[in-house]
Amino acid sequence: MEANELSVRARGGTELMLQALHARLDPQLARQFQIIPSRVRWLDPDRKRILWLHDKPSREEASFLEHAENRAAFAGIVCVSHYQAALYQMIPNVPYAEMTVLQNAIEPFGAYRPRRSERIRLIYHTTPNRGLEILVPVFEYLAARHADIELDVFSSFSIYDWTERDAPYRPLFERCRAHPRIRYHGAQPNAVVRDMLGESDIFAYPNIERETSCIAAIEAMSAGCLTVCAAYGGLPETCANYAQLYPFTENIQVHAQRFAAALDSAIVSVRRRSADDERLRAQQVEYFTRFYSWDRRIGEWDAYLRGLL
């Protein structure tokens, strides 16, 4: 695996996905392909090339795909969601016939384990630009109404080795540290976040980014968390109707109001812990284990790559 294929220091979703894929692929098969995640910087003349798209199409990184002769440099183009494939078909006009959707994958958490804590634990575990500015004031408001809620925040651009981008969010981080029921953890290894997900009740995610997929949501839902997020970008597809979705709006104030109402309802639901709610969480975990596990996805990748040979 070349250094240009994978950032050594970055630990975001794309990097974790590429590491996991190479760890599971048949080495003899993997050696025949250059798998390029999103940004093309160098093409290996001796291997078949796969462009594995993770981001939204942008003028800087995707405009070259408008031209058939540029797309011909790749044996295949892989998208992580059907929503993303539709974007690439509409914006740089990549024909559907030249794309394949192989959704993201994770290591599943196992069977659903009902929560027993008297506290209701919320978690936010993605970069701060994706909605933390909405979550913090909403949590402060709801904390005054619900004495039993707590929030763990795992959020920093240092996960991408990009700490300078944290500067605008440092007052928000300090606001987290100052609240008696918010624990700010910064960026932590994925194993630490997964341990916390196993103890959390709600993934509170007022997403303002139009994501192509969402590994944070996949992991949270595989762990048995009720996810509260806006119906925006690829989130409805990713969450497969198990999340508590609310309508997205560009108006931040209205967004905060809608998120507060949805999160308030989710807190009441978690506190109730009805038999129907517990059955739904168990079904959710079973679904995400079955459809987003690496055991399933690596078979799809293997068949796809062998088909290209």
Residue 4: pLDDT over 50: no
Q: What pLDDT, on a 0 to 100 scale, did the predictor assign at position 100?
A: 98
* 148 within some domain: yes
Cα 56–130–213 angle (5° rounding)? 40
Whether 91 and 124 share a structural domain:
no
Q: What pLDDT, on a 0 to 100 scale, did the predictor assign at position 11?
A: 60
How large is the average pLDDT for residues 145-154? 98
Q: In whole numbers, what is the pLDDT of the chain averaged over residues? A: 94
Whether 99 and 141 share a structural domain:
no
Strand partners, 79: 101
List, for residues 241-281, the tens digit of each pLDDT value: 999 999 999 999 999 999 999 999 999 999 998 999 999 99
* 59 within some domain: yes
CA-nearest of 95, 148, 98 to 122 is 148
Question: At 127, which amino acid appears?
Answer: T
CA distances from 175 to 9, 157, 163, 215, 254 (A): 28, 17, 18, 26, 22
Confidence class for position 162, pLDDT limits 50, 70, 90: confident
CATH number of 158's domain: 3.40.50.2000
Residue 130: pLDDT over 70: yes
* 26 within some domain: yes
List, for residues 90-122, the tens digit of each pLDDT value: 999 999 999 999 999 999 999 999 988 899 999
Whether 170 and 223 share a structural domain:
yes
Residue 38: pLDDT over 90: no
Whether 284 and 303 share a structural domain:
no
For 251, the domain range is 120-290
